[in-house]
């Protein structure tokens, strides 16, 4: 299927979900079922759009530009999601409850139209004629993506490293506000710093990726993505110094963003285009599926061990979980995982 159609249909479904909420609020239809239906519709569409969007850069750009493209895409997302969307939404909601949702619906509708301006994005591959003559079921397509993902040792390793990072990030994220207002004895107004500073770090890491990753290599980047957040958790759990805690969170966000771009580029360069969407979906299910489990574990540990001990446990847990997996994630292994034609693109001209 042309991936433009997925982007367009997905964004228009999200527009429909937001429009449903806007109409409901404007007419006083305050039913929880409507809220559930709109959120479910938007969430399903978001999954389709995000997976399709991550498969587009390798179709439009040569291999040597993927780090730059991914970095700018992720930086743009971070800026909008953290620094533009929330205050704009709050201002619109203060103006009129339905205004925020009407605006969101219009934005998604426009995004769907913008996707149509992209060139045709049919999956490629030498077996394309055979695939057209032997259609497969959705179950077979999902299975083929999972099989390729699971058999790709390097991709599976980086997926579980990222899953460990997300698990312990989720475990500590829900407790952070309690730690800041409790043991750190900071007013609630200061909590915004602990949201804004890591967001700024994520943006900085995304923009710096095209310069940093080629210099230090993808392997060390993956190691830093596990070690720096672990150090940040230890600082939060053991210390009382707010600037040091914020500096640790900033560096952890930078390292995590660099790793995200390394892994995205690996998927885009190493996975055949006709499987990229399905493999991306399998990868994201592993990496994002642990987030609610981490939140549950963090709540249980916070109640049983206390706030500071939970952050220390998260630091130790992340190191123990990620470093054995990272032992074989080297810069050379990441380069060798790419097809020969991509490796040649990265070689300097004679």
pLDDT digits (tens, 9 = 90+) for 231-245: 999 999 998 899 999
Q: Which tens digit of pLDDT belongs to each residue from 15-72?
A: 998 998 888 888 888 788 888 888 888 888 988 898 888 888 888 888 888 889 999 9
Among candidate residues 248, 271, 267, 257, the one with its CA nearest the CA of residue 210 = 257
Cα–Cα dist 289/291, whole Å: 6
Instruction: Decide: 173 and 295 in contact? Cβ < 8 Å.
Output: yes
Residue entry with tokens 């070690």: 227
Cα–Cα dist 8/4, whole Å: 6
Cα–Cα dist 42/116, whole Å: 20
Instruction: Decide: 252 and 201 in contact? Cβ < 8 Å.
Output: yes
Instruction: Decide: 231 and 248 in contact? Cβ < 8 Å.
Output: yes
pLDDT of residue 349: 40
Alpha helical stretches, state H, the chain: 3-26, 32-54, 57-60, 66-78, 85-95, 97-115, 128-133, 138-151, 153-173, 176-181, 193-216, 218-238, 242-270, 273-289, 291-305, 307-326, 331-336, 340-346
Tokens encoding 2:
């042309």
Angle between helices 273-289 and 242-270 (to 10 degrees): 150
Instruction: Decide: 86 and 195 in contact? Cβ < 8 Å.
Output: no
Residue entry with tokens 């299975």: 143
pLDDT of residue 122: 62
Cα–Cα dist 163/159, whole Å: 6
Q: Which residues does the chain have with pLDDT short of 50?
A: 126-127, 130-131, 341, 343-344, 348-350
pLDDT of residue 124: 57
Domains delineated in the chain: 3-122 (no CATH), 140-337 (1.20.1250.20)
Tokens encoding 1:
């299927």
pLDDT of residue 184: 92
Q: Which tens digit of pLDDT belongs to each residue from 161-188?
A: 999 999 999 999 999 999 999 999 999 8
pLDDT of residue 1: 66
pLDDT of residue 61: 84
Q: What is the pTM of this model?
A: 0.85
pLDDT of residue 127: 41
Tokens encoding 223:
């190691």
- Report the half-sphere exposure of 19 (CA within 13 A, side-chain side): 11
SS (H, E, C) 212-247: HHHHHCHHHHHHHHHHHHHHHHHHHHHCCCHHHHHH
Among candidate residues 198, 202, 171, 161, the one with its CA nearest the CA of residue 287 = 161
Tokens encoding 176:
């952070």
């Amino acid at each position: 299927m042309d991936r433009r159609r997925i982007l367009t249909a997905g964004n228009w479904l999200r527009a429909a979900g937001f429009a449903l909420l806007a109409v409901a609020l404007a007419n006083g239809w305050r039913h929880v079922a409507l809220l559930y239906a709109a959120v479910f519709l938007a969430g399903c569409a978001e999954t389709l759009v995000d997976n399709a969007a991550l498969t587009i850069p390798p179709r439009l750009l040569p291999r040597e530009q993927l780090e730059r493209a991914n970095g700018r895409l992720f930086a743009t997302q971070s800026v909008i999601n953290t620094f533009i969307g929330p205050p704009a939404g709050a201002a619109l909601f203060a103006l009129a409850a339905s205004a925020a949702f009407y605006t969101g619906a219009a934005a998604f509708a426009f995004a769907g139209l913008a996707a149509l301006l992209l060139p045709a994005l049919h999956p490629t591959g030498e077996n394309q004629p055979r695939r057209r003559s032997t259609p497969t079921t959705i179950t077979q397509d999902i299975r083929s993506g999972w099989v390729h993902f699971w058999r790709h040792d390097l991709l599976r390793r980086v997926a579980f490293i990222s899953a460990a990072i997300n698990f312990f990030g989720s475990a500590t994220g829900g407790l952070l506000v309690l730690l800041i207002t409790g043991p750190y004895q900071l007013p609630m107004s200061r909590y915004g710093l602990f949201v804004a500073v890591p967001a700024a770090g994520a943006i900085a890491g995304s923009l710096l990726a095209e310069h940093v990753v080629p210099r230090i290599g993808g392997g060390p980047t993956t190691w830093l993505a596990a070690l720096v957040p672990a150090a940040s958790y230890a600082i939060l759990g053991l210390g009382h110094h707010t600037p040091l805690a914020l500096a640790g969170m900033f560096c952890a966000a930078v390292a995590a963003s660099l790793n995200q771009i390394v892994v995205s580029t690996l998927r885009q360069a190493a996975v055949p285009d006709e499987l990229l969407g399905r493999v991306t979906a399998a990868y994201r299910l592993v990496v994002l599926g642990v987030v609610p489990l981490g939140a549950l574990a963090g709540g249980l540990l916070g109640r049983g061990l206390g706030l500071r001990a939970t952050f220390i446990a998260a630091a130790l847990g992340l190191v123990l979980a990620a470093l054995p997996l990272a032992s074989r994630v080297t810069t050379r292994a990441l380069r060798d995982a790419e097809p020969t034609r991509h490796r040649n693109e990265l070689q300097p001209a004679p």
